[in-house]
Amino acid sequence: MDDLNNNRDNELDSLETPTTVVAPSVQQSSSGSNTTNTAALNEPSVPETVVPNQGPIINRPSLLRRFIGGLNIYLLFFLILIVVAAATGVVFYLKAKNGTNTPTSLGSQSLPQSTLDQLANSDVTVGEPKHTLSVQSDTVFGGSVVVRSNLQVAGALQVGSNLAINGIRVTGNSAFDDVQITKSLALTGNGSVQGQLNVQKNLNVNGGGTFLGALSAPSLSVGSLQLNGDLIVTHHLSAGGSTPGRINGTALGSGGTVSVSGSDSAGSVTINTGGSPGPGCFATINFTTKFNSTPHIVITPVGSAAAGIQYYINRSTTSFSICSASTPPGSSTFGFDYIAFD
């Protein structure tokens, strides 16, 4: 019995191979003829695999094949274009980024002998206005150099010889060892001179001047001098100016005369009395320039004849008079020195 069962199983195994395909089912029509199922014929045939003890298994296509089969050919072509464009954009971005990180440098180019020969001529144009000539090494020009446009110096400027400039404008701090100005120097701001200042000609100052040190000048002419400290004069003090006028008084007597020498600030009055002089004023001295207030007048008698006179003065902002309270000597000559100041 066991042998029969084994033989049967072997026969079943030989008939039901993995490649056995079950044909479409056939239905019998009402007329009795055999007809094939049209639905089964219209559908694509799907192979079925018969596995022992498990029944038939249908072999279906993979998911990838069904997805590719369902895609439209134009949609697939559009997706490929998008992928290519994205990849191209990434490549250009990376290339541009690498280009910006790479430091730019001007390539050096040697000048041929023909160009050097042209530079030896009197007037040669090298390059175009849009080009930039960069000289990396030290350069020595044997002749004159003319810059027709602006000259900008990023570092220090050192001039070994004289520098002749028609006009110079300094907006920042500058230090000059030796500067000679042949025309005029105009300072709109403050000026500070740390060393000695020598002025060969006139020095005109429209505003005030402050000197923290000594001021030395062979001749000093000022319109008005104000001293906040002591005045020290190591030489003679000379009061210059025009000689004031005079008017003879009644104390001169008959035929008497008066003469004046000096200025408004200081001078001398010489008196010549005539016959029968009497008390009164010998002369009135008129100032050439009026004082701001009544000045202080100091007179000193000259000679013994003047010393014996009881003299006095009358004064105002425009004049002063020398007078005698007693009868002066007749036919005598004597005088008075005076000093006048505010």
* pLDDT over 90 at 336, yes or no: yes
User: Rounded to an integer, what distance in angstroms lies between the CA atom of residue 71 and that of residue 244?
Assistant: 129
Over residues 73-90, mean pLDDT:
84
For the beta carbon of residue 321, count every other beta carbon within 10 angstroms.
20
Q: Is-contact 306 257, C-beta < 8 A?
A: no
Can you tell me whether residue 48 is helix, strand or coil? Answer: strand
Nearest residue to 308 via CA among 283, 265, 273: 273
Over residues 293-311, mean pLDDT:
92
* pLDDT over 60 at 18, yes or no: no
Q: Is-contact 16 50, C-beta < 8 A?
A: yes
Predicted pLDDT at 28: 43
Residue range 26-51, pLDDT digits in tens: 444 444 444 444 444 444 454 555 55
Predicted pLDDT at 269: 97
Higher pLDDT, 8 or 198: 198
Give the dihedral sign, CA 279/280/285/291: positive
Over residues 53-70, mean pLDDT:
60
Q: Report the half-sphere exposure of 154 (CA within 13 A, side-chain side).
A: 0
* pLDDT over 80 at 162, yes or no: no
> Tokens 């072999």 map to which residue?
59
Phi-psi region of 137 (alpha: psi -120 to 50; beta: other; left: phi over 0): beta
Report which DSSP code applies to 115. H
Predicted pLDDT at 256: 95
Q: Is-contact 209 235, C-beta < 8 A?
A: no
Which of 99-113, 149-163, 170-184, 222-236 is least confident? 99-113
Nearest residue to 135 via CA among 168, 100, 110, 98: 110
Residue range 258-292, pLDDT digits in tens: 999 999 999 999 999 999 999 999 999 999 999 99
Give 257's contacts (C-beta < 8 A, 6+ positions apart). Answer: 248, 272
Residue range 196-254, pLDDT digits in tens: 777 777 777 777 777 777 777 777 777 778 888 888 888 888 888 999 999 999 999 99
Greatest mean pLDDT among 22-26, 98-102, 259-263: 259-263
- 268-298 burial by CB neighbour count: b if 16+ within 10 A, else e? ebebbbeeebeebbbbbbebeeebeeebebe
Mean pLDDT of the chain: 76
Predicted pLDDT at 60: 60
The predicted model scores a pTM of: 0.43
Which of 14-18, 101-105, 278-282 is least confident? 14-18
- Please give the structure tokens belonging to residue 339: 């000093």
- Type of residue numbered 61: P
Give 326's contacts (C-beta < 8 A, 6+ positions apart). Answer: 279, 309, 310
What length is written for the chain? 342
The domains of the chain, with CATH numbers, are 2-60 (no CATH), 245-341 (2.60.40)
Higher pLDDT, 175 or 310: 310
Can you tell me whether residue 8 is helix, strand or coil? Answer: helix
Helix, strand, coil percentages in the chain from 3-state DSSP, rounded to 5: 20, 20, 60
For residue 78, report the phi and psi dihedrals to the nearest 5 degrees. -65, -40
Can you tell me whether residue 334 is helix, strand or coil? Answer: strand
Nearest residue to 269 via CA among 337, 315, 328, 341: 337
Alpha helices in the chain (DSSP H): 2-15, 38-42, 63-70, 73-101, 113-119, 304-307
> Tokens 């020095």 map to which residue?
203
For the beta carbon of residue 138, count every other beta carbon within 10 angstroms.
5
Please classify residue 101 by burial: count the beta carbons closer than 10 Å to its beta carbon, then call 0-12 exposed, 13-18 middle and 19+ buried: exposed
Report which DSSP code applies to 251. G
Instruction: For residue 146, name the pLDDT band (cuts at 50, 70, 90).
Output: confident
